[in-house]
Amino acid sequence: MKIKEIIVVEGRDDTTAIKRAVNADTIETNGSAVPLSVLERIQHAQGKRGVIILTDPDYPGQRIRQIVSDHVPGCKHAFIDRQDALRKKGRGLGVEHASPDVIRKALKQAHTMAEEPLEQISKEDLIEAGLIGGSKAKVRREKLGVSLNIGYTNGKQLYNRLLMFQISKEEFISEMTRILQEEQDV
């Protein structure tokens, strides 16, 4: 599978994992303190071929994603779920631990964040759906992040991510209905 866009990753091991999965070029940020020179390379890549950001599903990965997004608007975003990014033996979390199939799936589902989000879903909708402040909130957010392919978020991030990816209220209700039905079936 050949990827036209250049993929922004955190480091050399991520590049190795990407190249095992697809034929693609990468730009490495080499950590969460993304230098201006790297941001300028990403900006240039965005103008020439487009960019997909694929960072680790953790706080530093989210920080890098935000820094790049703020500096280079219009990038596509690909997400890998935490459980798919865990090291098989020992401790570790990152893109470099994901299987080639997981990486290919994430890249196929990459999408662009909206620059001006539509206010379709309210914070009250999130509370009513039990996504904020309940005993099952974290598990429900994880399931919603997977089904909508927006990555895992905490309660504060969820609302913004739903708006950024322009998730319609109908799509939100449909997915939450499915998630709540699964809970009842267990």
Same domain, 91 and 158: no
Can you give the residue range of the structural domain that contains 96?
6-112
Structurally, the chain folds into a number of domains equal to 2
Same domain, 74 and 132: no
Same domain, 73 and 146: no
Q: What pLDDT is attached to residue 113?
A: 65
Q: What pLDDT is attached to residue 115?
A: 52
3-state secondary structure at position 56: coil
DSSP 77: E
Q: What pLDDT is attached to residue 109?
A: 87
State which residues of the chain have pLDDT below 50.
117, 119
Sheet of 26-28, strands arranged across: 26-28, 6-9, 51-53, 76-77, 111-112
Report the DSSP beta bridge partners of residue 9: 28
Write down the mean pLDDT value for the chain: 89
Q: What pLDDT is attached to residue 157?
A: 86
